[in-house]
Every structure is written in C-alpha cells, then in structure tokens.
Structure 1
C-alpha cells in the first residue's frame, strides 16, 4: 500500500474496505503461484493443515497492514498458531491468509484470502479474494464484487457491481454447507428447516454467495475462529444480511481470552429471521 493509499483506521466505510481489498488481491498473487506449482502441507498441533501459501499470504498481508495502519494490532491465524497473540484494543485486524486450506490441498479452487478490521467488537470493513476464481468481494458502507486477477490493480468504483441479499422465500430456501466441516448439530438444524437445496461449498465463499443474493443461509454450529468469519461478516452486513450466534444475536469479535473463538453461527441474508437459530425460518 503506497503512502497515498493509507486510510485512517477510524474511517470505516467503502474506502477502508477498498484498502483491504487491495491487500487481499496482492496477497492472492503468491497463493496462485504456489497453487499452480503444488506444495505439500504440514500439520499444526490442532491437526489442521498449513501450507507455504498460507505463510506467504500472511507475510504479505502483515507487511501491508503494518505499513498502512501503523500500530494497529493484527490477529492472524498462523501467527496465533505460532504463539504470537498480540494485545488488542477496540480496533484491530483479523486475518485468515488462506481460508479453505483443505480445498487448496485437494486441488479445488474454493479457497480465499480474508482480511477485516474490527472496531468495538464489530467488523466494519472486510475483503475476501478468491485467487483462482479471480473474484473479489468487499464491504464497508456497502458491498461490492468484481473480477480481478491476482496482484492486479483494482478497477474503479464505478466498474464494481454493488451486491445485496435477497428476501427469503420459505419452502424455497437455499442453504450453503461446508465441504469439509459438518457437525451433528448443524445437520439436525437443517433437518428442521424446509430447505429446497443444500449447496456444498468451500471457504468463505459461502458468505459472498449469500451477500450476492444467490442463497439464503449458512449454518455452522461447530466451533470456529473469529478470522474465519470477520471479513464475511463485514461483507454480508454491508449487503443487508447478518451473522448471528446460536441465540440469534449478532456475532461479537475480540474475545482474546476465549482464543478468538465462536461457538457456532448462522449467516443470514434475510433479517426478518434474526432468530433463525431457534428455527424460525421455515
């Protein structure tokens, strides 16, 4: 990020989100190169995989955020796994440098680079970039998408497509589910809804699909980490949707004492069903 692109952290909105979008697209370049060349994963202490692409993207993002937002704490998946947990304040960045590592290892293109900024427990700007799909989504005051190649400059704002969620139609619901993670509670929850279609999909793409109005909900009641959802939360909220906890409350971010974890969530397009976790969406 050049000096003329530096945005004050307190200025939440589309400009801030575009700054994060530039960072995500830049970080997507080494991810695409490593994906094309192939690489073997290693395994972290919790049994999850990590690749050279995770580490390369994290390095790019960390450097760009540190340059553009001096002094802002950065909470990033791989640094946390390595024991580098910064002290956070009311404003900090959440980074998942390669969301969908299992998809990456399997040779599927459904993986993303995720960057978000949180203020007072709420993601106020976020960007999700899918390098192999060459597609970017970002959200601040509003949500946008556009095609862009890894490492390329962003199109002008007027070339972006603004996106919005759709109204849910009970009896015709499209539910997105994880390719790699499906827990019994999530399965039981889906069984209690009138879902016309279940669509498996990897990584944070699920939040983007709902934000574009192409699906209605994404439930996941297993434990997740804040960096898994922060960018998607910013984008989905900007598009008119929300991510709620199992009691129907908007997710909060910044739980350092809890290891930056959430005990499940439901991503929603239609806010008429804020208590969807209690089974209202039928």
Structure 2
C-alpha cells in the first residue's frame, strides 16, 4: 500500500499523522506498516492499552486520549459509499480525518493468478475491503470470483459454503489476524511470513517467507510432484513384491527351483531403500516457473 491522500478534519496534519502512526505502530497489517513508514514520528512510550478488533480496526490510548483507527463505522464516520481504500481515525469518539491509500499489487500477483489458472484452479478474492475496490483489483488480476465487504466470521461462512460444494481441495492465502480463522478452516492454510501476523503464521500449514505470491504456484506444483512420486513409489513397491510373491508360490508348487534368499531381501529392504532414494531425488527436481 502507498499513501495517496491525507485528509485531517479539525486537527493539524502533523498531529493527525502522529496519533495515526502511534495507533498503527503495533499492528502487523500491511496498511499499518505503510502508515508508519510514511510517518514514523511518534512517542512509543505514550502508547497504552493497545488492542485490535478483528474486522474493524485498532485502538489504544495515546497521550491520554482514546484513539481508534480503522473502518469508517468504527471511527464514527459515515463515508456515504465513497470509493477508495480509506482508513479513518477518531480521537475520544470524534472522527478527526482519514487517509486514502492505493493498493500497489506485487509484480508477481498476476503471474500467480495466471499460473493457478493454467493448473485448472479456480481463484477467489475474499476481502473485507469495499466491493468496488476488491472488484477493481480482481479485474486487474483476472480473478474468477470476488467476495468483498466480509468480516472475519463472514469469510469463514463463505469458506464453509465452498467446502460444502466439495469441488476439491480448498487453499486459503492470508497475512493478517483477520485471516487466521480462515487459514485454520481451509484444507491448506498458507500465510505470508514477512508481512503476516504471528497468529496467521502459527496457524498456517505453509508459510511463504518472502511474501512472493507466485510462490503459491510453486507450492502447488511441489505438492503435485510429491503426490505423483508417492503414487509411483507405492505402485512400484506393490508390483515388485507381488511379482516376488507369485514367483515364490509357483516355485514351491513346481518344486524344481527356489527363489534365492537375496531376492527376497532385495524385494524387502532393498526396495525400501530404493523408494527412499526416489523420494530424496524429488528434492533435486526443478519446478518450472509459471
């Protein structure tokens, strides 16, 4: 995110940014990090009783005043359906302004969506952002479906509806505390490790440490290769063991020859070692980029 516009109301811009940055300084949300990077000037010793309200925003006491930062309704402001990504702030119950941000998509975001489509995977944006903003981003990326304006519990309900359809494995990629319940619910929960909150990372099955969206495609390809190699190992093992067993049964009935002991050992321990080696070689295989 990048700061596009700062709009204080009844308060000096410098004071507005100081209170705003102080409230957001303890949050791991990408918007919070963008705000603090834009204005790092505040007194951290004055921050008290900080807390986050999932789906709404954050609040704290700064210089003796109750500060809330988040959605318009959370900060006692009627945005009248205005378009744009905005974060509002109230001090002692009165809205004192907002900042407008622009969502800067990562350069590999579109590559990620295209790569998933090539693998036959349906893509969704499940966001708490306004519908207009989410649909605009979805259109730019070429996402199949967009669900916007959802609180954390509504995201969970939507995921339940997808699970009930039973159309395949459900993966959810998120980074904030609001995404943690959805990450837990999904068949595969994926967290962005760099920007992600501790709650999201701790509950995820996989963590992408460099926050590169295209790594999701790599993750899927690794999963497919692992599944195929496991199936190959099982089929080969069963075939070899069955072949040795049939030969042993035939030889016992014919009575003309016996299966050597070393063949049985190779079919057991030797085959196990071969399958382990086959699995280890998977780590040296190359994954084609999307």
TM-score by shorter chain over 0.5: no
Structure that is richer in helix per residue: 2
TM-score by length of 2: 0.25
Higher Cα radius of gyration: 2
* Larger relative contact order, structure 1 or 2 (CA cutoff 8 Å, min sep 6): 1
TM-score by length of 1: 0.26
